Structure 1
Amino acid sequence: MKELFGTGVALVTPFNEDNTVDFQGLERLVNFQIDNGVNYLVVLGTTGEPATLTAEEKEQVKATIIKVNNGRLPLVIGIGGNNTMNVVNEIKTSDLSAFCAILSVSPYYNKPTQEGIYQHFKAISEASPLPVILYNVPGRTGRNFEPKTILRLANDFENIVAVKEAAGDMLQAMRIIQNKPADFMVISGDDMIALPMVLAGGVGVISVIGQGLPKDFSAMIQYGLDKNIDEANKLQYKIMDSIDYIFEECNPSGIKALLNKLNVCKNNVRLPLVAASFELQQKIDNFVENY
């Protein structure tokens, strides 16, 4: 799974003013990533607002990205949820031929026990024809995916190949790296500590800011993988403020404000999210102008 080394980006879904999907913006977004050195693309991750897309729109978004990408970069598909049977059914009934792996978020809202999380991903593993990336993001799910559960799954199922670790806890990430099977990959899901995680033994990142600053962010992660710490740190400190800004209100409103400034796509989101405030858009605009 060398496809998962380096910088993956969790693509947004651009929208027009009338709330329809902006497929021209999506095409520009995909090409912007490819032209600037990103290593792989994550389709319909939570940053893509799949919770507010219809089934038809999801298929159209997937088809557009597959067509524009045209085999140039590996693609990862987001399939997750808090109803295990529905997730399993989606995996079994979807055409996954264009994708190299599934990214599946830990169940949200239900707040299952660690055993419940284990059984959820056991069912996904048994249903999936593709490698599976676990996704821990307790700030959104309400339940931490504990290292012992991640490691248990990593040891029990050959097709569970990685975790996107987004707890924002370096010690937790290091515990997973310390005790993981040799071929199991730890991928940062937190942009601010992606470089420290790579330097500690992670293989890269699935990023939000990476799609707004793809050239420098991808270079930073590659410097980290190459253990070129001085050059990596220069880019880390150059980029840092933008990471604060894009998460200041909500994701993906912040990153869409940055992409709007870059004329890649508009800053529209679907309710219950709202677009970045005027004040935040101004901060992001100033950052980009002085970058």
Structure 2
Amino acid sequence: MAKNLEETVQRLRGSIAPIVTPFDEQGNIDEQVLVDLIEWHIASGSHGISVTGTTGEPSSLTLKERERVMEIAIRTARGRVPVVPGTGSTNHDETMHLTKLAQEMGADAAMVIVPYYNKPSQHALYKHFKTVADAVDIPIIIYNIPGRTAVNLEVKTLARLNEDCKNIVGVKESNKDFEHVNRVLLCCGREFLLFSGIELLCYPMLAIGGAGSVCATANVVPDKVAEMHNAWFEGDVERAQQLHYELMPLNDVLFKDTNPSPLKAALGMMGKITPKLRLPMDLPTEELQQEIRSVLERYVTLPEQVNK
């Protein structure tokens, strides 16, 4: 493994916040708000940022919009924290294009999702990811989210990819099968970067040797999520456990509707964004929004003008 690749991999730890794509009232990308969100995350202690992943609504963006969001994120971060854009899609050529572009723009790594809707075989998944990895030099973190893709990347397929591709260095597991997650590190090695994409499993994955998380809740309380990781890395197990349980009610309410719908409602209540999604996604029902507000008030002080 090349020295620069090794150095980059060492930085990919902790809370990599998957930032929402903010829209204005007209439904256009609000570039200044995106910049502000990134600056807020860096100031709040997030260890890295990711854009155009599930939380960033990539399926609601055009290819040019995805490119623009990636460009803004990399330019704004200026190397202060790693930037790991989501570059995958159902289309292989599009995935290749975005991943190569991420490298050209200066991204620290690329997060490539298991193609959704297509339901490829394990053999096809191997060919897809190997072709993408072979085309770039930056680290690749595979994103396994079977609840959205309808196919699970099996541990033996992931282990084969890790063995055959030096720059496939980790996986984001949005997988509730904790036996599967344990076997990832057993078969891929303890140095393989395991990130939790399930909020309630962020702490448990750290406990088995995980590298961190890509947690939607970090959009709302980036300081708390980062602190949980810091506590664990510093050996303060009691504090890490305390934060794990402290965050559970917020984790729960933010997933009572499809992500990032509740999350954007919460950020709107906080005055961070215009709470806007593009159809077919939409904001939660008024009843759920009231529940979100009630839980949110336990964690943050909502601006008066937003509370009215």
What is the rounded CA distance, in whole Å, between the counterparts of 2:169 and 2:194 in structure 1? 9
- Name which of structure 1's ranges 73-82 and 222-231 shifts more when overlaid on structure 2: 222-231
What is the rounded CA distance, in whole Å, between the counterparts of 2:227 and 2:102 in structure 1? 34
Structure 1 pair 227/95, CA: closer, same or farther in 2 (3 Å)?
closer
Matched position secondary structure for 2:231: helix
Match of 2:79 among 45, 57, 71: 71
Residue of structure 2 equivalent to 1:186: 194
Question: What runs of 5+ residues in structure 2 fail to find an aligned partner?
Answer: 1-8, 300-308
What is the rounded CA distance, in whole Å, between the counterparts of 1:254 and 1:176 in structure 2? 30
What is the rounded CA distance, in whole Å, between the counterparts of 1:278 and 1:162 in structure 2? 39
One-letter amino acid of the counterpart of residue 214, structure 1 = P
Deviation for aligned residue 1:85: 2.9
Deviation for aligned residue 1:76: 0.8
Query: Is residue 42 from structure 1 mapped to residue 46 from structure 2 by the alignment?
Result: no
Deviation for aligned residue 1:221: 1.7
Query: Is residue 26 from structure 1 mapped to residue 34 from structure 2 by the alignment?
Result: yes
Deviation track 1:18-76 (CA, whole Å, cap 9, x = no partner) reads 11112232122112111110000112112111212123322332232233323321111
Deviation for aligned residue 1:193: 0.5
Deviation for aligned residue 1:290: 2.2
What is the rounded CA distance, in whole Å, between the counterparts of 2:72 and 2:105 in structure 1? 15
Counterpart contact for 1:47–1:251, Cα < 8 Å: yes
Residue of structure 2 equivalent to 1:2: 10
Counterpart contact for 2:74–2:105, Cα < 8 Å: no
What is the rounded CA distance, in whole Å, between the counterparts of 2:123 and 2:228 in structure 1? 37
Residue of structure 1 equivalent to 2:60: 52
Match of 1:151 among 134, 151, 159: 159
Number of aligned pairs? 291
Structure 1 pair 271/128, CA: closer, same or farther in 2 (3 Å)?
same
Counterpart contact for 1:154–1:181, Cα < 8 Å: no
Pairing 1:137-286 to 2, within 5 Å after superposition: 137-286=145-294
Residue of structure 1 equivalent to 2:88: 80
Question: What runs of 5+ residues in structure 1 fail to find an aligned partner?
Answer: none
One-letter amino acid of the counterpart of residue 213, structure 2 = V
Deviation for aligned residue 1:81: 1.6
Counterpart contact for 1:267–1:276, Cα < 8 Å: no
What is the rounded CA distance, in whole Å, between the counterparts of 1:226 and 1:177 in structure 2? 21
Percent of aligned pairs sharing the same letter: 35
Residue of structure 2 equivalent to 1:113: 121
CA RMSD of aligned residues (A): 1.6
TM superposition score normalised by structure 1: 0.95
Structure 1 pair 230/92, CA: closer, same or farther in 2 (3 Å)?
closer
Deviation for aligned residue 1:227: 3.5
